[in-house]
Each structure stands twice: as structure tokens, then as C-alpha cells.
Amino acid sequence: MEKIVEIPEGIEARVEGSVVYIRGKKGELSREIRREYVNVAKDGNRIVFTPAIDKKDATALLGTYAAHVRNMIKGVTEGFEYKLKVVYAHFPVKIDVKKDAVTISNFLGERNPRVAQICEGVKVEVSKEEMTVTGMDRENVGQTAANIERATKIKRKDRRVFQDGAYLVRRI
């Protein structure tokens, strides 16, 4: 059994040891493949994944690594974009984006601002009540959106009444 990922035109891919590199118009991404389970090789304009051992774990990882490479190809061509909506009813929220963090001030009237980390290679833009998280690496974009959602999580208050927060609305 093997999984094959076709490399489209305009994408440069190379395999060096256990690392797969994908380069496109937006930049370059790399991912390390665990060689004890999966062998990876470049064959013309495709990347071939084969199991290194005859176990269920190895065959399960074939699809996972193939999906990672497909996401890398999409990331270097189109990129990923997540939209979050900022909701507040009780206190007006002020959101500032610095180099590596999003600061949410006056959330539920709190004195101390809440901070969410921005992962490497991710850009966050704020416009009124909507935030846009963009980048090439799907995992980093998703983790940044999750960090923002987690920073606005409400504890010790009724969620039905205090619905304030930042919520993921759309993934593109």
C-alpha cells in the first residue's frame, strides 16, 4: 500500500532524508517525516509514501503525512485564512496586534489585558468586530486562532448571559 501526492505545476518539491520541502509563490514550508514508520521519496512530479514496517500504525500514518503535504502545497499556493468575530455586549473591547501577540483590553471590564500568542509566519488583522488570521502553515494559522479564542474564554460566569469573546466564524 502506498499514498501518492501529485505536485502541481509551479511547485518545487524536494525530499532530503526525512524532511519534505515544498516551495511555491508564497514561500517555502518543510515537514519532517518519521522514518521508522513511513518511507518518503520523490518520483518525478509526485511524492510517494510507503510503510516502513508492516503494522497498522504505519499504514495509518501514510494518509496523515500525505494530507500534511497536500496542506503544504495549498499553503504555498493559496495560503490559509481564518475569520474570527469579536462579540461584546457588556464592555467595549479594544484589540491591539503587536509583533507576536494579540492584546485584548477591557474584556468584561477587566483591568489586566488578555494576551494571545501569534505563531511564526502568521499575520493577524483587526477591523472593528472581525479578525482575520492568515498564513501559509495550516497548523500555525489554526493554533493562532485557537489562542485568540482561548484568551477570551469566560470562567465563573454564565455563558448564556455573558456571550462575549472571539469566535471562529469561517475557514478559507
At 98-138, the pLDDT tens digits run: 889 998 888 888 789 999 999 999 999 998 889 999 999 99
Q: β-pairing, 122-127 with 114-117?
A: unpaired
Domain 3-77 belongs to what architecture? Alpha-Beta Complex (3.90)
* The 3-6 sheet, strands edge to edge: 3-6, 46-51, 38-42
Whether the per-residue pLDDT at 30 is higher than 90: the answer is: yes
* Whole-prediction pTM: 0.86
Q: Kindly report, as residue ranges, where domains of CATH 3.90.930.12 are found in the chain.
A: 3-77, 80-171
Residue 66 pLDDT grade (very low, low, confident, very high; cuts 50, 70, 90) = very high
Q: Which three cell numbers stand for residue 132?
A: 482575520
Euclidean distance between CA atoms 119 and 140, whole angstroms: 6
Q: Is the pLDDT of residue 77 over 90?
A: yes
Does 80-171 carry CATH code 3.90.930.12?
Answer: yes
